[in-house]
Amino acid sequence: MDHDHTDIYARLVTVLSDKFEVPADRINEAATLDDLELDSLAVVELYVTLQEEWQVPLDDSTASGDLTVADVSRAVAELLGDPDRGAA
């Protein structure tokens, strides 16, 4: 299945907004998960959610608040084989 990097980023924004109640206007590619006030448990929960959503083996041992939204989107895109690597 082919996934457009823009679709991955948009879905990530939706997950952050809907599941983690992050205001959409605070989410951008450069925002870290810490910036979005996700604690360590929420970061791992985000990874688990994305693994289930995209059926990709995200390594939650690498999950940290220092990651940007673009980093997370890129990680999903790489696992899906998207050559554009997830940047919106």
DSSP three-state, residue 16: helix
pLDDT at 82: 59
pLDDT at 1: 45
Q: What is the pTM of this model?
A: 0.84
Looking at this protein, which amino acid is placed at residue 14?
A: T
Inter-CA distances, 35 with 30, 58, 66, 83, Å? 9, 21, 9, 27
Residue 88, H or E segment: none
pLDDT at 48: 93
Inter-CA distances, 32 with 2, 37, 39, 63, 81, Å? 27, 9, 11, 11, 23
Q: List domains and CATH numbers for the chain.
A: 3-81 (1.10.1200.10)
Separation CA 45–CA 20 (nearest Å): 9
pLDDT at 86: 46
Separation CA 36–CA 58 (nearest Å): 20
Local mean pLDDT, 10-residue blocks, the chain (88 residues):
75 95 95 96 94 89 92 92 54
DSSP three-state, residue 76: helix
